[in-house]
Structure 1
Amino acid sequence: MHVHDLHTEYRTSSPFTAAARPRLSWKTATAAPGWIQAAAEIEWRRAQSEAPGEAVATARVEGRGSVLVDWPFESLLPRERGTLRARTHGEDGSTSDWSAPLEIRAGFLADGEWHAKFVTVPEPADVGQPMLLRREFTVRPGLRTATLYATARGAYQVEIGGAPVDADRLKPGWTAYRDRIVYETTDVTDLLREGPAAIGAALAGGWYTERFGFHGQAKPFYGKYPSFAAQLLLEYEDGDDELIATGDGPWRATADGPITASGIYAGESHDARRALPGWSSPGFDDARWLDARPDPAKALVPVPRTAPPVRATEELPVQEVLTTPSGRTVVDFGQNLVGHLRIRVRGREGDTVVLRHAEVLEHGELGTRPLRHAKATDTYTLAGNGTETWEPDFTFHGFRYAEIQGWPGEFDPADVTAVVVHSDLARTGHFSSSNELLDRLHENVVWGMRGNFVSIPTDCPQRDERLGWTGDIQVFAPAASFLFDCDGFLASWLEDLAIEQTEDGSVPFIVPDVLDSAGTPAAAWGDAATVVPTVLFDRFGDRAVLERQYPSMRAWTDHVAAIAGERRLWEGRFQFGDWLDPDAPPEHPARAKADADIVASAYLFRSASLTARAAGLLGRDGDARDYGTLADEVRDAWLREYTTAAGRTVSDAPTAYALAIEFGLVTDAETRQRMGDRLAWLVRRAGYRIGTGFVGTPIIQDALVHTDHAETARRLLLQTDNPSWLYPVTMGATTIWERWDSMLEDGTINPGEMTSFNHYAFGAIADWLHRTVAGLAPLEPGYRRIAVAPVPLAGLDRASAHLETPYGPAEVGWEAEGGRVLVHAAVPPNTTALVTLPGREPVEVGSGEHEWAIDDPRSEPRGRGLTVDSRLSDLIEDAAAHDAVLRAVAAVDPERARQLRRDTEWTEHRTLLGELTPASPAVLARVEAALADLKRA
């Protein structure tokens, strides 16, 4: 038995912590079955420090707590450092060894210790002009530690003596810059030696100077010029400290560096002829450098970063070199990704290589229309001094394809590499099955999350947008929390959400709110204020984020409740509704089948319920009663206004029924079942093609399974016709598309003005794959108690999910063979699991490996004796017969087959013959023969 993965909250690869009392987590590995922690001992050993107290302190934590446990010692002081160890005691009397020591350093500053001022170049030539800043200093003998605290309005990298201080990119990331900027703390001791030294900062506008807006109306939101602030603390063995800070001393700056232009949307231009060798080393001198000037923007004291940094995490080689119909050279990396290119090139001085990026090809050419006003183009001008290697520093692109222009000499694809860039989150969750298309769908979800978790959770990574849309992450947060450890990432973003809320509680469409959207609340978007903190609590056990965000949750719920008034219905206001319902016109993505008011009031109920739950968990009993009452009143109003006694909703649409079932708006069991039956009927009528948008898609499968329609959910999941989850996979998608048909069957990009091929919202289905198809779900916060409840589906022979929970690795999977299904589960130490299997009574188990064998519950409906006179509802129930009929029609009349597939309502009120009439005798003969063959088979 041993303790491992001891870490502080939101810890990245750095030993620095942003909190004076960082919460602690650890895991115990043991083969002992049913192991439960009785207590833990924590040892804190201070390093050389001015902190008072003993050098070694030990605390005992009683009970099972091992996830985000409160710091049991005196608060850390700025710059305090030491090592932490832990060991655990089991209820069975066992005791582990001490864990490996964990280095901890206080990376925050005390109040009043931030002395740096933001500085910029004297007279910037252009808006967002990249720049360089530098300062020389002297390191005295006896340097003990050198710590850099740095940030920027823009994006920056620091060099000391010609070496970058870290591998992080796009620092300090994007926050609500007007009110919150973060700084990084970096140990740079190893980069300094006694004697002359220099520090330099390369700086670009990044998000700070970007132009935001749509329809050609984009404009700067924050400021015109980037600026930089840093303080380098030198601590010496004799006890003296020296602070080298911007705004104090001879900082010099220039806009005449090699980066001539840089933008998030436009791309980056680099002229190697303008290189300044040694600019961040001592002794450099150039008359073009002038004294840096103070940034006139409002003074703001930054706070330490808690989210993980953006980094390059992977590299992909060129898979294929294409020559387009127009004769252009395009490289294909085989994967839609986010990042940039690294090139290795030889040529003459002044040769310029142009790199254009796009996600897809359209009719053989680079498909740039979806980029809108984003140029997504990088240029590199050669110095002409041999082999030159270059990659951009301060931009990123969403792309699978890149067009190469101006390449000198013969082009070798080995000289171009795609560098994958995103926030460096630890991968935690995996899923696999016997269906290759389904596994590729899941992989597409993973790549979509990687590409859209770049400092903030964005909607898309390629066009002139890349914004933190609240609706997208509201629906995707559960899937995200399984796939990656995104607790610190989303917790940081939620701080900005609360900052960007209006005084009366309205939540913006996007965070950070560069569109000034907070004055117009929208359901399912603003509800990120209540949903995302709840997800972080349920999936990571992060009670502190729930407590910190509680005022935001309450303010949003109060705001919408005031709009709803005495009727308790959110009606007649602007809404996105069930955004991107597949039946909505390309130019009107909000025109969904489900009425927007039904969606809005359902979300008011949900937010009131979640706020009531949070209040109860936090001991605010009065609030819990009040918001519980509000939720009851909204539910009653919703049922009274939007449902009938027969269990129908006013909008007879899948999303409306899914909301009623999954949000708990309908509590009467009989009515709930009727709604589930109607939902399944609607799905069947549509030929098992998806009929939901952003709101309905994450919950429709749960609504079907929870009302005993797992077979309907299976058919919907495995559908490959357009629209469906698997249609993009059959079209070669490697990420999740924004629209169900972002690319049409003929290879044409969707005609809508808004089209992306990397949007994670519809990838919310992954959470259902984890929880239901594989059967691994949380029952208590942080997976302290796990639900093992797989739903084996026909069409799959196996499925499994693996998750590195806060307590350790958990796995659930099943495999069918010979009329039996073998279910296995791995339950981490210090947790329990409730096992619910088809045909069995639920059973509680402890940690360890478990297996069960059950009778195969899967069944795939098969028609008997289907003919042209059979009802369409019977035909669609038999997938083989349905496919055979469509193939038979297509063999004679392809257009008629397309109409049949697209327009048919597969109900019990019409026969196949009636649907085919009028039809040519050849079509009818072919169909009759196909059905007869099936009957004989």
Structure 2
Amino acid sequence: MATIEIYDLTCNHKTNPVGIDDREPRLSWKLRTEGRGALQGAYRLQVSEDPEFAQAIVWDTERTESGQSVLIAYRGAPLRSRTRYYYRVKVWDLGGAESEWSSQAMFETAFFPEEEWDGAQWISHTLPLDEEDDEPIAYLRKGFRLKGAIASARIYATALGAYKLFVNGREADDTHLNPGWTSYEKRLQYQTYDVTSLLTEGDNAIGVQLGNGWYRGVLGWNGQKRRSEERLLLAKLHVRYADGSEEVVGTDESWRGSDGALRMSELYHGERYDARLEKKGWNAAAFDDRAWSSVRASARPQAKLVAQENEPVRRVDEIVPVSVLTTPRGETVIDFGQNMVGWVRFAVNEPAGTVVTLKHAEVLDREGNFYVGNLRSAKQTIEYVCSGEGEESFHPTFSFQGFRYVKVEGIPAERIAGKFVGCVLTSDLKAAGSFRCSDPLINKLADNIVWGQIGNFVDVPTDCPQRDERLGWTGDAQAFIRASTYNRNVAPFFVKWLRDLAADQQPDGGVPHVIPELKIAGHNSAAWGDAAVICPWVVYERYGDERVLREQFPSMKGWVEYIRAQGDNEFLWNTGFHFGDWLGLDAKENSYVGATPRELIASAFYAYSTGIVAKAAKVLGLEREHEEYAGMYERIVTAFRNEFVTPSGRVASPTQTAYAVALMFDLLEEKDRRQAADRFAKLIEESGTQLTTGFVGTPYLCHVLTRYGYGELAYKLLERREYPSWLYPVVRGATTIWEHWDGIKPDGSFWSDDMNSYNHYAYGAVGDWLFGSVAGIDADENEPGYRRIKLQPLPGGSLRHAEAKLESPYGEIRSAWKRTADGGIAYEFTVPANAEADVLLAGAALAAASESGRPLAEAAGVSAVSESAEGLSFQLGSGTYRVEVAAAGVQ
């Protein structure tokens, strides 16, 4: 066998994480070889406090006979707080060939018991409200001396509010909007900063800006501020000197506080900054803070402190404007060419007191004027008052905007060029996959899905990033989560969010509509609350993360038990409020809810979630729960059939969504499914090959058609360019996914001002079908995390070729197909080492198939070749393959 290379070592899905509080972190690695069919037969893991592994080894598995290389839980000596650990691995293949030791990777612990926060107090600094009832951002600082050479230094910090940390005048790191948004009454994240290089022997200073963030500011559509409680900061610096001694500097009443130039910051409304009020050098050691006030120590909040769980928010890209235009109204507007989320960094050189105002919008109206109607009450405005001291630059700190267009007031248009840059802000998730095909519009659709995810994955999965909402709607998240896994590694992101879901879940198992909870939003809608069950299962399926199932199982079970307790029939859900098929095109006039009966949708999702709970119980070895929920699932399905399916096998409600969910969730008897699928296809054809589905039905539309042999009809829906379709917004110039199929109508008018986001990922769920069916990469829940890969590409429509790549927990998976000049199809597959794939080529014949010029059945790495009515099936070991099916073998 060829040399085995070990690469991409990770801990809890992350590369070299600093600041974890997991006592049993999970370690993973990937393998790379040149040959085919490579499988790991054994591994040896070592974890040590010594980067040379010469001493202080705390865990050595010795040679362990196992093929596992993903999420192996640490089982060594108890980990110590505030300690860096290094780990490495070597493996043996099934033939006994041994690899070299991998390069080392590391993880660093933060605090384990909360008592380790002793030495730091919660502090606050309340400032007078201004004439607009806004409290300025608090500026906090602490000067101190260090007595010797510094070996290492860490700051652990959190806040009730949002904070920005500085050390000796420099940002502590490149993250933003810390500590993130959690269920603040129950869970609060803290961050770990490696500040070794920022400190010096002698005088030093820590500075913090403390704002409202998600904790205390305006949140929701009622315009009210969320809390009246004061903003709080907790921080603790640990310094380890070269001689081994340590020193601690914590927040306490010796800190000093003041207001400053940042006069107002709100997530929805933007920021107001008066540069004339800057206290230059306020966060540096030499600053004289005697005029500042003392801070106040506060009682410890009840929330449990947890180390950062998801990836932090960072600036991940910068976008240069494509033009500066003058609208028919005479407005000066910058066009960034991309609907994005983040902020604008700009530089100006104007007289003191000049007010530069930036207003942000997603679209222009049909006359070409600046349009903010769809923002509702959100102002999305940056107001900057110049100091007059030469060129000065600014970007927001505690707010973000959703925009493509920026209206600039206060400076002439000719002084804009080269001075304004769009900065993209998002949770910094690892890129996972890419999709490309022969149709540029579909490629643009795929790009728009990614941009929608980037813009709406800002610490939590939001519905939209621009208006007075930006909330973690559960229904949107469960509809899109499968598609999201193809674009980014979302495992830590959703694990954190699901812990907040469990924290905010009601005692009776009910689930808020939005997570973290916002009281005005409500609770307990079918297809929304089901995120409690669907999202953990998808994380398990796509990443092989069994722990998320174990952690969330009480929450999953609680949701199903909540449904069970509703109404007078424990096996149907026909009571309570439901959003239904939200924004379905078959809705009545002036209604947001599609025509599919809400109780049908509710009972369908009840069955679906119960079935997942049964499967999760089996995975977790909970036999009693498995039997209970498997039996309960069967009774729910029977009740669904009795209530919503006619004796002849027709779904009682003849809507696209009703058939989509009934067939996707296998709720019909086996004998009725084919004719139901035929009726489903006929419904679409009779509509003029138009979709009429909303948030509930759209994710399943193309999947169901494909499953039942109507792949070409699914392609017609995909390739349709007229309204309503996925490509209609693309044709209209969209650069993200719209909330409404007709957010901009064919005549250029708008759907409405009420609820009309142009960056709303729900309909981007079709990305799951692009990757999973058009290109054909899917996971197998029986061997999750892509340990066993499903490769079932579906050539169709007018496409000449398609390709997808996905960085799985085992390495890169690639699936591509291309129509050949003689009418055949050439497929290319890459299967990563230590994984295997089951391939199905629909309609292909064995006699016409070859791999790299050899008969398919004789090719190395190919096994279990068979031909059936479905097509040509075979298995692949790891490696790269080119399978050609001649024209005679393509049906």
- CA-CA distance at 1:223 after TM superposition: 3.8
1:753 counterpart residue number: 754
Distance 1:440 1:606 in 2: 33
Give 1:313-392 correspondences, 5 Å limit: 313-362=316-365, 363-392=367-396
Higher-Rg member (1/2): 1
1:182 counterpart residue number: 189
1:423 counterpart residue number: 427
2:857 counterpart residue number: none
- Given candidates 188, 202, 227, the residue that maps to 2:209 is 202
- Given candidates 369, 390, 399, the residue that maps to 1:395 is 399
2:218 counterpart residue number: 211
2:475 counterpart residue number: 471
- Given candidates 481, 489, 496, the residue that maps to 2:493 is 489
Give 1:441-456 correspondences, 5 Å limit: 441-456=445-460
- Given candidates 18, 21, 24, the residue that maps to 1:21 is 24
1:638 counterpart residue number: 640
1:854 counterpart residue number: 885
Distance of aligned partners of 1:585 and 1:739 in 2 relative to their CA distance in 1, 3 Å threshold? farther
2:657 counterpart residue number: 655
1:895 counterpart residue number: none
- CA-CA distance at 1:662 after TM superposition: 0.8
Distance 1:586 1:156 in 2: 46
2:708 counterpart residue number: 707
Distance 2:57 2:733 in 1: 62
Tell me if 1:165 matches 2:166: no
Q: Secondary structure at the match of 1:327?
A: coil
Q: Secondary structure at the match of 1:219?
A: coil
Distance 1:103 1:842 in 2: 42
Q: Secondary structure at the match of 2:136?
A: coil
- CA-CA distance at 1:366 after TM superposition: 1.4
Give 1:58-77 correspondences, 5 Å limit: 59-77=62-80
Distance of aligned partners of 1:299 and 1:604 in 2 relative to their CA distance in 1, 3 Å threshold? closer
Given that residues 128 and 210 in structure 1 are in contact (C-alpha distance below 8 angstroms), is that contact kept between their aligned partners in structure 2? no
Cα deviation digits, residues 599-634 of structure 1 (max 9, x gap): 000000011000000001101111011111111111
Give 1:736-775 correspondences, 5 Å limit: 736-751=737-752, 753-775=754-776
Distance 2:423 2:438 in 1: 31
Give 1:246-261 correspondences, 5 Å limit: 246-247=251-252, 249-255=253-259, 257-261=260-264
Distance of aligned partners of 1:305 and 1:586 in 2 relative to their CA distance in 1, 3 Å threshold? farther
Cα deviation digits, residues 518-569 of structure 1 (max 9, x gap): 5x31000000000000000000111001110000000000000111543511
- Given candidates 626, 635, 642, the residue that maps to 1:624 is 626
1:283 counterpart residue number: 286
Larger mean Cα displacement after TM superposition, 35-44 or 400-409: 400-409
2:547 counterpart residue number: 544
2:35 counterpart residue number: 32
1:227 counterpart residue number: 232
Larger mean Cα displacement after TM superposition, 377-386 or 219-228: 219-228
Given that residues 219 and 469 in structure 2 are in contact (C-alpha distance below 8 angstroms), is that contact kept between their aligned partners in structure 1? yes
Letter in 2 for 1:746: D
Given that residues 341 and 403 in structure 2 are in contact (C-alpha distance below 8 angstroms), is that contact kept between their aligned partners in structure 1? yes
Question: Unaligned stretches of 5+ in structure 1?
Answer: 861-937
- CA-CA distance at 1:487 after TM superposition: 0.1
Tell me if 1:610 matches 2:617: no
Q: Secondary structure at the match of 1:698?
A: helix
- CA-CA distance at 1:92 after TM superposition: 2.0
Q: Secondary structure at the match of 1:837?
A: strand
Question: Unaligned stretches of 5+ in structure 2?
Answer: 845-870
Q: Secondary structure at the match of 1:490?
A: helix
Give 1:485-884 correspondences, 5 Å limit: 485-517=489-521, 520-566=523-569, 568-584=571-587, 587-590=590-593, 592-668=594-670, 670-751=671-752, 753-779=754-780, 780-817=783-820, 818-838=822-842, 839=844, 840-855=871-886
Larger mean Cα displacement after TM superposition, 608-617 or 56-65: 56-65
Letter in 2 for 1:702: H
1:140 counterpart residue number: 147
Distance of aligned partners of 1:27 and 1:802 in 2 relative to their CA distance in 1, 3 Å threshold? same
Distance of aligned partners of 1:475 and 1:61 in 2 relative to their CA distance in 1, 3 Å threshold? farther
Q: Secondary structure at the match of 1:92?
A: coil
Q: Secondary structure at the match of 1:403?
A: strand
Distance of aligned partners of 1:831 and 1:327 in 2 relative to their CA distance in 1, 3 Å threshold? same
Distance 1:118 1:644 in 2: 63
Larger mean Cα displacement after TM superposition, 407-416 or 617-626: 407-416
Q: Secondary structure at the match of 1:619?
A: coil
Given that residues 146 and 189 in structure 1 are in contact (C-alpha distance below 8 angstroms), is that contact kept between their aligned partners in structure 2? yes
Given that residues 142 and 236 in structure 1 are in contact (C-alpha distance below 8 angstroms), is that contact kept between their aligned partners in structure 2? yes
Give 1:890-901 correspondences, 5 Å limit: none
Given that residues 175 and 496 in structure 1 are in contact (C-alpha distance below 8 angstroms), is that contact kept between their aligned partners in structure 2? yes
Q: Secondary structure at the match of 2:156?
A: strand
Distance of aligned partners of 1:4 and 1:471 in 2 relative to their CA distance in 1, 3 Å threshold? same
Larger mean Cα displacement after TM superposition, 187-196 or 765-774: 187-196
1:305 counterpart residue number: 308
Given that residues 140 and 255 in structure 2 are in contact (C-alpha distance below 8 angstroms), is that contact kept between their aligned partners in structure 1? yes
- CA-CA distance at 1:157 after TM superposition: 1.1
Given that residues 17 and 106 in structure 2 are in contact (C-alpha distance below 8 angstroms), is that contact kept between their aligned partners in structure 1? no
Distance 2:727 2:637 in 1: 35
Distance of aligned partners of 1:756 and 1:529 in 2 relative to their CA distance in 1, 3 Å threshold? same
Letter in 2 for 1:813: A
Given that residues 174 and 207 in structure 1 are in contact (C-alpha distance below 8 angstroms), is that contact kept between their aligned partners in structure 2? yes
CA-atom RMSD, angstroms?
2.0
Cα deviation digits, residues 248-268 of structure 1 (max 9, x gap): x5111112x010110000001
Q: Secondary structure at the match of 1:728?
A: helix
Number of aligned residue pairs: 852
Q: How high is the sequence identity, in percent, across the aligned residues?
A: 38
- CA-CA distance at 1:18 after TM superposition: 3.2
- CA-CA distance at 1:14 after TM superposition: 4.0
2:484 counterpart residue number: 480
Distance 1:603 1:347 in 2: 59
Given that residues 771 and 777 in structure 1 are in contact (C-alpha distance below 8 angstroms), is that contact kept between their aligned partners in structure 2? yes
Given that residues 777 and 790 in structure 2 are in contact (C-alpha distance below 8 angstroms), is that contact kept between their aligned partners in structure 1? yes
Letter in 1 for 2:369: E
Distance 2:69 2:327 in 1: 57
Larger mean Cα displacement after TM superposition, 16-25 or 32-41: 16-25
2:863 counterpart residue number: none
Letter in 1 for 2:358: L
Given that residues 9 and 22 in structure 1 are in contact (C-alpha distance below 8 angstroms), is that contact kept between their aligned partners in structure 2? yes
Q: Secondary structure at the match of 1:442?
A: helix
Distance of aligned partners of 1:653 and 1:605 in 2 relative to their CA distance in 1, 3 Å threshold? same
Q: Secondary structure at the match of 2:816?
A: strand
Given that residues 47 and 57 in structure 2 are in contact (C-alpha distance below 8 angstroms), is that contact kept between their aligned partners in structure 1? no
Letter in 2 for 1:410: E
Distance 2:748 2:331 in 1: 19
Cα deviation digits, residues 163-200 of structure 1 (max 9, x gap): 11101011111111111110001111111111111111
- CA-CA distance at 1:717 after TM superposition: 1.1
Given that residues 140 and 209 in structure 2 are in contact (C-alpha distance below 8 angstroms), is that contact kept between their aligned partners in structure 1? yes
Cα deviation digits, residues 371-426 of structure 1 (max 9, x gap): 00000000111111111111111110000000010015832321110000000001
Given that residues 821 and 853 in structure 1 are in contact (C-alpha distance below 8 angstroms), is that contact kept between their aligned partners in structure 2? yes
Distance 1:752 1:371 in 2: 8
Given that residues 47 and 55 in structure 1 are in contact (C-alpha distance below 8 angstroms), is that contact kept between their aligned partners in structure 2? no
Given that residues 48 and 81 in structure 1 are in contact (C-alpha distance below 8 angstroms), is that contact kept between their aligned partners in structure 2? no
Given that residues 186 and 302 in structure 2 are in contact (C-alpha distance below 8 angstroms), is that contact kept between their aligned partners in structure 1? no
- CA-CA distance at 1:41 after TM superposition: 1.2
1:153 counterpart residue number: 160
Q: Secondary structure at the match of 1:378?
A: strand
Cα deviation digits, residues 285-306 of structure 1 (max 9, x gap): 2454101113467344421011
Q: TM-score, normalised by structure 1?
A: 0.88
Cα deviation digits, residues 571-590 of structure 1 (max 9, x gap): 13211011110232574212
Q: TM-score, normalised by structure 2?
A: 0.93
Segments ≥4 residues shifted beyond 6 Å? 857-860
